[in-house]
């Protein structure tokens, strides 16, 4: 079974819209774990439009499952990561004002810098993951740079799933086989939902973890948090 890590950015966005602490981001994370989620993901952006740096430090003291921090590796971001020491740090190639992550790393162009950052993460006992498109050369570059895992950017899969699921999954399935061959772990995330998640899991050998936020929060509005967590877990069995 692949693990479900719940991205709580959208809960923070909802809280920030009113300026108070409703909904409580920390309590939401605790409830996700209580209902069965195996991890909590946050992506604190420079403008703090959803998860804030203060949230990350607060979550450090309460998350009992896997804590995953995503972000672009600026010096201030890495300082926070080294202080919090999450179980996993997922590096994404986002520009500062980017609305959402929409592409993977060019691990060849940024090889030297990624090697430096990944080496430092490893020295501090933090597992690393790189946001990656399903391209052999980029995956090989992630392995060479020293990443423990890659996280497939699954936006294209989700976009094409309803028109032709076999075509949508093909590149990811082949890339996953290559990941297994070279010995790098596989995570996935972006636009995965209850419609396309099970098929993705069934076709990706040794999928370790998915990170889901936007769709999961949407489903909570319809069927409730506890039920939503359970339904997602069933798709990953």
234 neighbors 225 (Cβ within 8 angstroms)? no
Q: Which residues contact 140 (CB under 8 A, 6 or more apart)?
A: 107, 182
Residues marked active site are found at 43, 70, 190
CA of 58: how far to CAs of 4, 31, 43, 51, 156, in Å?
21, 15, 14, 11, 34
Q: Is the pTM of this model over 0.85?
A: yes
Which residue spans within 33-111 are E strands per DSSP? 39-42, 66-71, 88-91
pLDDT attached to residue 131: 97
135 neighbors 170 (Cβ within 8 angstroms)? no
pLDDT attached to residue 14: 96
Q: State which residues of the chain have pLDDT below 70.
A: 95-102
Report the C-alpha gap between 226 and 57 in whole angstroms. 25
Separate counts of helices (H) and strands (E) for the chain: 11, 8
Q: Which residues contact 78 (CB under 8 A, 6 or more apart)?
A: 117, 120
The domains of the chain, with CATH numbers, are: 3-235 (3.20.20.70)
């Amino acid at each position: 079974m692949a693990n479900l890590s719940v991205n709580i950015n959208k809960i923070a966005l909802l809280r920030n819209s009113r300026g108070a602490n409703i909904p409580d981001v920390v309590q939401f994370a605790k409830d996700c774990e209580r209902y069965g989620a195996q991890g909590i993901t946050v992506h604190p952006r420079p403008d703090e439009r959803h998860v804030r740096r203060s949230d990350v430090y607060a979550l450090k003291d309460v998350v009992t499952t896997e804590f995953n921090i995503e972000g672009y590796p600026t010096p201030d971001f890495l300082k926070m990561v080294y202080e919090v020491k999450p179980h996993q740090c997922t590096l994404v190639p986002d520009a500062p004002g980017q609305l959402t992550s929409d592409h993977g790393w060019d691990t060849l162009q940024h090889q030297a810098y990624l090697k430096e950052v990944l080496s430092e993460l490893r020295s501090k006992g933090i597992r690393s993951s790189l946001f990656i498109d399903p391209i052999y050369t980029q995956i090989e570059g992630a392995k060479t740079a020293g990443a423990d895992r890659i996280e497939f950017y699954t936006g294209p899969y989700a976009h094409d799933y309803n028109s032709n699921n076999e075509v949508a999954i093909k590149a990811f399935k082949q890339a996953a086989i290559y990941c297994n061959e070279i010995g790098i772990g596989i995570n996935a995330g972006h636009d995965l939902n209850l419609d396309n998640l099970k098929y993705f899991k069934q076709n990706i050998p040794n999928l370790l973890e998915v990170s889901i936020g936007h769709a999961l929060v949407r489903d909570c509005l319809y069927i409730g948090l506890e039920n939503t967590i359970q339904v997602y877990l069933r798709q990953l069995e």
